[in-house]
Structure 1
Amino acid sequence: MIVSPEPKRRAYREAGWWGDKTLADLFFANATRHPDRLALVDAPNRASIAFGEPARLTYAEMRDEVERLAGALLAAGIDKDDVIVVQLPNISEFVALYFAAATIGAIVSPVAVQYRSHELSTIFDIVKPRAYVCGTHMHHADHLGVARPLLRGDVALMTFGPDAPEDAVDLSNAQAKAELLRDYIDKTKVDADDIFTICWTSGTTGMPKGVPRSHNHWIAIAPGTYQPSGLREGDVLLNPFPLINMASIGGVTMSWLKVCGTMVLHHPFDPQVYLGQIAMERPQFTIAPPAILNMLLQDEALLAKVDLSSLRTIGSGSAPLAPAMVRGFQDRFGIMVVNLFGSNEGMSLVTGPDAVPDPFERASYFPREMVLEPMMGGAAAPIAQTRLVPPEGGAAITEEGVAGELQISGPAVFESYHDAPDQTEAAFTEDGFYKSGDLFEIAGGGRFYRFVGRCKDLIIRGGVNISPEEIDQLLGGHPDLAEACVFALPDPIMGERIGVAAVPRGGAAVTLDDITRFLREQDLAVFKLPERLFEFDSLPRNVTNKVMRSEVRDMALAMLEGAD
């Protein structure tokens, strides 16, 4: 049974979580207030990853580009509620295209630049787009060649970049259609409740699921980043995550929209370019994967060359944070690391320095109730209602130390998967809570949640549940490991044992004894110690930079078979 969203929507509006403004309305208001403020900055290596020289756009210049692209979409036959699949890296055109689509009420479905025909054909079948947008040049990718055979029927091909093919709409050189746009806006109502994006779940197996989010869904989740991170009017934000998911859109882009700041783009992740942008653009906020922050803190030679003094806060997540890393940035540089946990569906747990000053607690815990001020006005209130329920079902968990699936409801949570009623029904409880698939436990005297792992990733050794993320988190502080990941190995006696995939740092020789000795020093229970070591050159990651634990496990099992 799918619960009707209408009563909740009314309540969200009354509380100020939702409103009547679209994202385009908010952008144009910013451009009117601060036309000469710098809005967007391309990465300095843009030409080497895509095409064209890096752009630096003021809000007035970006407004002109948004309106030009909106007119170009209309002239190409794109209308309200039409889906546009976009496959671009983080370049200024991508951001402008988002707000051009928002202006006319079109729906952007962004996909990873790494996707090829397998993923694209599935996505096209699900959303049935009216257009596909890519660049004419992309380092190590031929998006035109891959996508063209899939563009059947009335799907328009649109491109940015030089040498546009004759059968494509050349968005880089399309002329402004001011009168067409003006007439369209006069006749067409774009509502803040309309769907604005369809993003994709990042699972590594099974059918992808499209996650529709309205303008109001994005507006509701925005305070979850800019408030705990202490962002201020006009701040500079460095955005290294692809513009296709919650971290980049909900975390950085929405915060940029709120504070009318400058967004500095970066993609794909290159540590040298990234650190150079911190030095040149002087951001007050950025996000970074935990592995990068661990690496930076442990590289004294690199730290000596980097000026981090502009940064006040760094958001990090997608994997457990090492407490030593969070404390290191705070003690050495006065930089507060904000612990972020989210998903495209609208999961939002955030631990900022005001709510949790202690860096060790901030690395490990999330407040059970996150009280924020809604972006559209209204009194501060919890952004979500949450509860823990045993994975096999039953009453909500109230005691500490018992793992349960986190279920969540609130104005930032999506309402259904795109054109997938069976998947939607499986994802929600009868009373409308989203079943996250993430295991947490109550901790800290009842004040916090502590992440335990994914329901499907638990290691069950001799009937005892073991969280792989807990061990990963501790191994993040090992001085000789660049990264590590533990996983389940089949065992005829214990059911499962623990394997560890390790990437040594700088050619260091690391043994299983070294790893278990380190974990014993952290006072980890003996039954949680890894029992087999697999050395990797690097760990496989998906497009959102998460380690693909199931793929690591498959590779390790293949190593065992090869050794037999």
Structure 2
Amino acid sequence: MTEGRGLHPRARVEDYTSKGWWSDETADQVFRDQVQARGDALAVVDPANRAALLGTEPRRLTWNELDHEVTFLAARLLDLGLGRGDVLGVQLPNTIELVEVYLAAWSLGIVVSPLPMQYREREVVGMATQAEFAAFVTTYAFGDRHPAADALAARDRIPSLPTVVGFGLPGEAPEDMPAGVVHLVPAAASEDDTARVAAYRESDPNDPNDCLTICWTSGTESEPKGVPRCHYDWLAISWATVDAPRVTADDVLLNPFPMVNMAGINGMFLPWLRTGGVLVQHHPFDLPTFLAQIAQERVTYTVAPPALLWMLLHDEALLSKVDLSSLTRIGSGSVPLQPAMVRGWQERGIPVINFFGSNEGIGLLSSFEDFPDPDERAQYFPRYGAPGVHWSSRVSEWMSVKLVDVVTGEEITEPGRSGELHITGPTVFAGYLHADRRPSPFDDEGYLKTGDLFEIAGDRGQFLHYLDRAKDLVIRGGMNIAPAELEGLIGAHPAVADVAVIGDPDEVLGERVAAVVTLKPGTTLTLEELVAFLKEQKIASFKLPERLEVRDELPRNPVGKILKRALRRTDEPTTTGAPA
């Protein structure tokens, strides 16, 4: 937090508002404006496979119906004693209920801290303790798991947490619902609910500098970092993902990314909220369901991992059986796009928009308007502030970027030279949770040091060309995995002498986790034995290694650091070995 109320210092607020980059709007007010404007138009649709996932049938709500249920939930949050500044932990799949939790909490000034469904006790306890969850909202059943019961069992390890809520269940609480879980079912607000919530908002209105979310980024550290963001910076960066794909109220958006970080929240949720179209939820990712939803809901815009788009493009048999005629564009990113993939989809009449973002507030998007050449769109991002160059998104006028030599600290202005991207502007967060315990992520001029390496490119120096991650993050299916955490756990195995965790290329997920180890004399270790050992630590299943390689020694540089680049595979991506 900074001086006074809110996340950003007052001088920054005055500067950015005077320039028109920030306004007095709040996310909850944007929602109420859409309700007033859209009324009985369709607003949000549940995942088509909800019955198999949660045991309840999918629903479809208009803006008015959504508003009534949001108000009902807000009243229940007040009943639980929650209010401004309290942190609400949320672990829900992409459903209507997840949308309602965000909007209900925000209407009361409650901070939402969303966690992926894959997270288990280890991750939940760690993040809940850091952020001091005042309550935790989850679902009773998720496939064969029982997240509400799991959260209740871990509650004694979370000092701040008195309440676990099971939200979105069938009408009556299941007989085996653990005692102590608060059972809530979506319903329309009563007159009393509406009056109480309105009175609360009037007595203590939201400020745009109030914290909205605490999302989590793994980085390369063992302990995840909390990323607080407020109305100001969320609503500013939402224009990047509205402008680049030209989202309007006529769009039907299919959201396959978990609404837990920048990809799901700013890729789909906020553009929907900004424009008032239709949001179709999807979870967990299932290709047949995903393709069927595009056809059935007449989806006009969606996002998908690059590897999936590449795979689809080369599966003529599958493409011939599906109806993608409603799609007008697709968003993708997180790794460099293949020019042939971007070109191939454009030849089918569906341009791919290249995204590069982060929870901290990076927002580089290459639109088909600014980059009509698909090869350039795949390889380059706009270099905001390049002399004599205009970009179509309003965000480009607000942001300043520079490249900095990671050795000398010198700013790089010539093409073809690698440097770390530093960025500043109204989309960037104010700082990490418990900032006093961490090194500052900002340089001496206040620019965010992103840890990502780029070079200047283009005949006018108008492009940024992504080179590599400066850190060793493994990204599996859009989920960030910190190697340091896994290396610490694997290193505790009695047979392991040394370990390095890397990412193997994968056609669908982008990367899968691989562990390269050396063993202690006289010991052996199999992948199955290692996975069983890690499962005992109660970590998320997506973090489990899917390949184990045993070596006599690990390659190191002269100062002893493991050379992970020498360990990474350079062969073709694989599709085998997904963890349970």
TM bracket, shorter-chain basis: 0.7 to 0.9
After TM superposition, give the deviation of residue 380 of structure 1 in Å: 7.3
Q: Matches of 1:61 and 1:224 in 2, distance apart? A: 29
- String of CA shifts for 1:308-328, please: whole Å, max 9, x gaps: 121111000112111111000
Structure 1 vs Structure 2: percent identity of aligned residues? 41
Structure 1 equivalent of residue 499 of structure 2: none
Structure 1 equivalent of residue 184 of structure 2: 171
After TM superposition, give the deviation of residue 455 of structure 1 in Å: 1.2
- String of CA shifts for 1:13-50, please: whole Å, max 9, x gaps: 12332111211111111111111111000111011112
Q: For residues 252 and 536 of structure 1, do their structure 2 counterparts lie closer, same or farther at Cα, with a shift above 3 Å needed? A: closer
Structure 1 equivalent of residue 338 of structure 2: 322
Aligned equivalent of 1:360, options 375, 397, 417: 375
Structure 1 equivalent of residue 421 of structure 2: 406
Q: Matches of 2:510 and 2:180 in 1, distance apart? A: 46
After TM superposition, give the deviation of residue 372 of structure 1 in Å: 6.8
**Contact 1:85–1:132 at 8 Å: present in 2 too?**
yes
Aligned equivalent of 1:431, options 431, 445, 453: 445
1:244 aligns with 2:251: no
**Contact 2:371–2:377 at 8 Å: present in 1 too?**
yes
Aligned equivalent of 1:158, options 162, 165, 169: 165
Aligned length: 487
After TM superposition, give the deviation of residue 491 of structure 1 in Å: 4.4
Structure 1 equivalent of residue 47 of structure 2: 43
Q: Matches of 2:208 and 2:344 in 1, distance apart? A: 42
Q: For residues 275 and 358 of structure 1, do their structure 2 counterparts lie closer, same or farther at Cα, with a shift above 3 Å needed? A: same
**Contact 2:72–2:194 at 8 Å: present in 1 too?**
yes
- String of CA shifts for 1:301-355, please: whole Å, max 9, x gaps: 0010112121111000112111111000001x21110000001111111100111
Structure 2 equivalent of residue 285 of structure 1: 301
Secondary structure at the residue paired with 2:112?
A: strand
Aligned equivalent of 2:113, options 109, 112, 132: 109
Structure 2 equivalent of residue 183 of structure 1: 199
One-letter amino acid matched to 1:155: P
**Contact 2:256–2:304 at 8 Å: present in 1 too?**
yes
1:56 aligns with 2:69: no
Aligned equivalent of 2:576, options 515, 537, 545: 537
> Which structure 2 segments of 5+ residues have no match?
474-501, 517-552
Q: Which moved more, 1:290-299 or 1:186-195?
A: 186-195
One-letter amino acid matched to 1:352: S
Q: Matches of 1:258 and 1:484 in 2, distance apart? A: 33
Q: For residues 69 and 448 of structure 1, do their structure 2 counterparts lie closer, same or farther at Cα, with a shift above 3 Å needed? A: same
Aligned equivalent of 1:388, options 389, 397, 403: 403
Q: For residues 393 and 61 of structure 1, do their structure 2 counterparts lie closer, same or farther at Cα, with a shift above 3 Å needed? A: farther
Structure 2 equivalent of residue 339 of structure 1: 354
Q: CA RMSD in A?
A: 2.9
Q: Matches of 1:352 and 1:131 in 2, distance apart? A: 40
1:81-480 equivalent positions in 2, closer than 5 A: 81-152=85-156, 153=159, 154-160=161-167, 161-162=169-170, 163=173, 165=177, 166-172=179-185, 176=190, 177-203=193-219, 205-331=221-347, 333-369=348-384, 382-423=397-438, 425-445=439-459, 446-457=461-472
**Contact 2:148–2:181 at 8 Å: present in 1 too?**
no
TM-score normalised to the size of structure 2? 0.78
One-letter amino acid matched to 2:247: L
Q: For residues 216 and 493 of structure 1, do their structure 2 counterparts lie closer, same or farther at Cα, with a shift above 3 Å needed? A: closer
One-letter amino acid matched to 1:261: G
**Contact 1:41–1:92 at 8 Å: present in 2 too?**
yes
After TM superposition, give the deviation of residue 492 of structure 1 in Å: 7.3
One-letter amino acid matched to 1:338: I
Secondary structure at the residue paired with 2:248?
A: coil
Q: Matches of 2:350 and 2:508 in 1, distance apart? A: 24
Aligned equivalent of 1:28, options 4, 27, 32: 32
After TM superposition, give the deviation of residue 500 of structure 1 in Å: 5.0
Secondary structure at the residue paired with 1:272?
A: helix
Q: Matches of 2:252 and 2:508 in 1, distance apart? A: 33
**Contact 1:224–1:372 at 8 Å: present in 2 too?**
no
Secondary structure at the residue paired with 1:222?
A: helix
1:13 aligns with 2:17: yes
**Contact 2:152–2:180 at 8 Å: present in 1 too?**
no
> Which structure 1 segments of 5+ residues have no match?
459-471, 503-511, 516-533, 542-564
TM-score normalised to the size of structure 1? 0.80
Q: For residues 79 and 403 of structure 1, do their structure 2 counterparts lie closer, same or farther at Cα, with a shift above 3 Å needed? A: same
After TM superposition, give the deviation of residue 150 of structure 1 in Å: 2.7
After TM superposition, give the deviation of residue 399 of structure 1 in Å: 1.5
Q: Matches of 1:189 and 1:324 in 2, distance apart? A: 51
Q: Matches of 1:435 and 1:290 in 2, distance apart? A: 26
Q: Matches of 1:303 and 1:404 in 2, distance apart? A: 41
